[in-house]
Homo-oligomer: A and B are copies of this chain.
Amino acid sequence: MTDSYNIAVAGATGAVGTVMLKLLQEREFPVASLRPLASERSAGQTVEFGGEELEVQELTADSFQGIDIALFSAGGDRSKQFAPAAVTAGAVVVDNSGAFRMDPNVPLVVPEVNPEDLKWHEGIIANPNCSTIQMVVPLKPIYDAVGIERIVVTTFQSVSGTGNRAIEELFNQTEAVIESGEGEVQKDVYPHQIAFNILPHIDYFHDNGYTNEEMKMINETRKIFGDPELRVTATCTRVPVFSAHSESVNIQTSRPVSVDEVRRLLLATPGIALVDDPGADEYPMPLMAEGKDEVFVGRIRKDYSAENSLNFWMVSDNLRKGAATNAVQIAELLIREELLQ
């Protein structure tokens, strides 16, 4: 006999929420009932789940009666407002927003990396930022086996990370440029044209000149590895790609390590697809990763500019492993480890 669970998805009509619903079905998650929740604007729409059309209900503090697990991906403000109510109602919350990630009482979990942190949850588990997740999965086996002293990362992030409106904006701007040549395009989501352009700007700017996205990568990586002194720097950019983020990652390890040893470590790690045969034009790309759950890793090579240094290229679907897949994996682990309160 398998138990089954009452699941709520807050933000069920959003880019990530849509994938969460799809994944719960794909992965045959033991769902007793599914309650799709969204803002007032989207309430009343229907979503398909398990062959049924379910009406989306408005997300309120009263939405969580009888819910065992609530997956939140409705933005940080709504998580702050409603996740505590879900916990009070008896649910365990897996929150995909930035609301609780750096809260010392909330574990920040990537199941392949720090599953042990799930044990000390108090009702809320935070899902890390998409760009952080896809970096820590391949770095973890190296961190454990060799030690990592420093990480320098540059990201190429797709518009789906911003949500459905950004996907439309890239499509519409691209169409306008292709059809009518270059002129002014409509801009609603991003401050500058994203079609055929690169924006070195994700989330708001801190006083130190870093974006909040860059600070997330720095701080979340430290928290996930349990290494508050880990040296990380990041430059995050938005690129005209619909889905899947790419990352150019440079690391300095604690001792010499060969490319072959790194390959062996990655091949032995679940959740990673090694695609590294440049002579055959095989390397990770967004179009390869879209719709997949793995982190694709390639272009692994020694960096001769510093001792014990390596370069990597890592690509993953930000809506899946970067968000929905990781959240559903956390929910699966909560069940397997009997960590539902």
Chain A residues with a Cβ under 8 A of chain B: 150-152, 154, 156, 171, 174-175, 178, 191-193, 196-201, 205, 208-211, 218, 231-233, 235, 237, 239-242, 246, 248, 250, 259, 278-279, 281, 283-287, 298-306, 309, 311, 313, 315
Q: How far is B311's CA from A156's CA once the two chains are assembled, in angstroms?
A: 16
Q: How far is the CA of A300 from the CA of B200 in the complex (A)?
A: 12
Please tell me if the beta carbons of B198 and A231 are within 8 angstroms of each other in the complex.
Answer: no
Residues A287 and B192 in contact, CB atoms below 8 Å apart: yes
- How near does chain B come to A146, taking the closest CB pair, in angstroms? 18
Q: A232 near B178 (CB under 8 angstroms)? A: no
Give the residue name and chain of the B residue nearest to A303 (CB): B233
Which residue of chain B is the closest to A235 with respect to CB atoms? B248
B311 lies within 8 A of A235 (CB):
yes
A97 to chain B, nearest CB (A): 23
* Bound Cα distance from A57 to B226, whole angstroms: 67
Q: Is the CB of A156 within 8 A of B298?
A: no
Check if A240 sits within 8 Å of B241, measured CB to CB.
yes
Q: A301 to B171, Cβ gap below 8 A?
A: no
| A309 → B minimal CB distance (Å) | 7
12 further A-B pairs in the complex, CB-CB below 8 A; given A197-B286, A198-B286: A191-B281, A193-B287, A198-B246, A199-B285, A205-B279, A208-B301, A209-B301, A209-B302, A233-B304, A235-B250, A235-B311, A239-B240
A250 touches B233 (CB 8 A): yes
Tell me, rounded to whole Å, the shortest Cβ–Cβ distance linking A183 to chain B.
Answer: 12
Chain B residues, CB < 8 A from A237: 156, 246, 248
